[in-house]
Amino acid sequence: MTENELKQLLRKGEDSRQQFKQSINNGNALAAEMVAFSNGLGGTIFVGIDDAGRIVGVSEQDLQVLNQLIANTASQSVRPAINPITENIVTKQGLVVAIQIAQGINKPYMDAQGFFWVKSGADKRRVTAREEIQRMYQSANLLHADVVPVTGMGIEMLDRDYFNQFVMKQYGEMPDDLAISYSQLLSNMNLMQDGVFNLAGALLFCKMPSIKLPVFIVKAVAYPGNDIHLDRYIESQDIEGKLETVFNNSLAFLLRQLRRVQRKRNVNTEGELEIPRIALEELLINALVHRDYFISAPIRMFIFDNRIEIISPGHLPNNLTVDHIKNGNSNIRNPVLASFAAKILPYRGLGNGIRRALKAYPEIELIDDREGSQFKVIIARDES
């Protein structure tokens, strides 16, 4: 990097990708910066720059100490260890050391004290919320929300009739004929551990999951006009129960609000739904199965005269983008839940639900809101 290139970068100021330090002599502070960049998109720490972005330089004596500190910190105080690249930039005002830290491939990273750090604008912050730490492990495919045990949900919560019907349909035998206990069978199916349901098991087969999981429901409201009203609505419902029940009742709520159009058919016929049923099914399944269950919030479903909004907690996982999912790419956030949903819901194959919905009804907008940690689907309606 030349002096002119450095000065151009300095004019931009500090941001999520570059940090200025007049000097560094504390290994813990340096480790925190390295961890934050590694957990983010990577970046560069410029040493020899004051907070105002002016070059103050690093002395030759300080340079030797700094290089040793960088090497020791990256290998001993960042877990897992990283390999930063340093570059010495000669300027008229003195030497500047650029420490380049790549986006980590083994996230999440922590410092030697066990603290997780992430970038927050030009600054960094320590992650303390359990849900956020869980999501960091989730993004690295080290932890899935659907296998986390649900405290207080034991075998007594099982809807035995419903579960019996599922087992009979899938395996051709009743659980009582398999010569093992219900707890062992559910454990073998990866839905229970040590007599406690995991999230997938609770959502799929418990009588009333919302007793222990009150936020994992669908809140649906139909409004008159095109805006949210605080005190006026056509219909409102909190939809809870087993996954299949939530799906069926959410779909029924949508269908009750839809118009039927003739589309050049005989006026005496019932007409077609303004939005094809298959599109609604695919979008609902996507919301229920692929939402982020580490976020304690319901799925929200709003119906207006000109659109329907389905808002799922959690943005798209990892580096998945809207263009990726439009092309059939997927990253399964809840693999156990997805595997059973394929047997219970009208699931037509992994990764292609959004494509099928768009093919059936192209007037669908997909918004991956990473700052708000939500995924929004907007389905246009014809008001005429």
pLDDT attached to residue 38? 94
Answer yes or no: is pLDDT of 313 > 80: yes
Q: What is the mean pLDDT of residues 262-266?
A: 64
At 226-263, the pLDDT tens digits run 999 888 999 999 999 999 999 999 999 999 999 888 76
- CB atoms under 10 Å from CB of 220, counted, come to 23
pLDDT attached to residue 267? 57
Residues 6+ apart with CB under 8 A from 82: 34, 38, 74, 101, 102, 104, 109
Please tell me the distance from the alpha carbon of residue 121 to that of residue 40, in angstroms, as a whole number: 11
Which CATH fold topology does 218-380 show?
Heat Shock Protein 90 (3.30.565)
- CB atoms under 10 Å from CB of 243, counted, come to 23
pLDDT attached to residue 368? 94
Q: Which of these, 313, 79, 105, lies nearest to 213 by C-alpha position?
A: 313
Answer yes or no: is pLDDT of 180 > 80: yes
Q: What is the mean pLDDT of residues 96-104?
A: 95
With cut-offs at 50, 70 and 90, classify the pLDDT of residue 270.
Answer: low
Answer yes or no: is pLDDT of 347 > 90: no
* 248 class by beta-carbon count within 10 Å (0-12 exposed, 13-18 middle, 19+ buried): middle
Q: Which of these, 16, 73, 72, 78, lies nearest to 45 by C-alpha position?
A: 16
Residue appearing with tokens 């996982």 = 317
| 178, 185 Cβ separation under 8 angstroms | yes
Count H helices and E strands in the chain, helices first: 12, 19
Who has greater pLDDT, 42 or 139?
A: 42
| 189, 198 Cβ separation under 8 angstroms | no
Tokens for 217?
């429901």
Compute, in degrees rounded to 10, the torsion defined by CA atoms 374, 375, 377, 378: 50
Q: Are strands 85-91 and 18-21 parallel, antiparallel or unpaired?
A: unpaired
What percentage of the chain carries pLDDT values higher than 90? Answer: 72
At 6-22, the pLDDT tens digits run 999 999 999 999 999 99
- Residues recorded for the chain: 384
pLDDT attached to residue 218? 97
| 289, 356 Cβ separation under 8 angstroms | no
At 271-287, the pLDDT tens digits run 789 999 999 999 999 99
With cut-offs at 50, 70 and 90, classify the pLDDT of residue 107.
Answer: confident
What's the mean per-residue pLDDT of the chain?
91
With cut-offs at 50, 70 and 90, classify the pLDDT of residue 158.
Answer: very high
With cut-offs at 50, 70 and 90, classify the pLDDT of residue 132.
Answer: confident
pLDDT attached to residue 269? 63
Domain spans in the chain, listed from the N-terminal domain onward? 3-128, 145-207, 218-380
**Taking the alpha carbons of 4, 10, 15, 20 in that order, is the dihedral positive or negative?**
positive
Tokens for 106?
């083994």
pLDDT attached to residue 211? 93
DSSP symbols for 277-318: HHHHHHHHHHHHHHS-TTS---EEEEE-SSEEEEEEES---T
∠ CA 351-356-361, nearest 5°, is: 145
pLDDT attached to residue 164? 95
Which CATH fold topology does 3-128 show?
3.30.950
pLDDT attached to residue 328? 80
Who has greater pLDDT, 130 or 154?
A: 154
Answer yes or no: is pLDDT of 70 > 90: yes
Alpha carbon of 363 to those of 74, 151, 262, 300, 311: distances in Å? 49, 42, 19, 20, 17
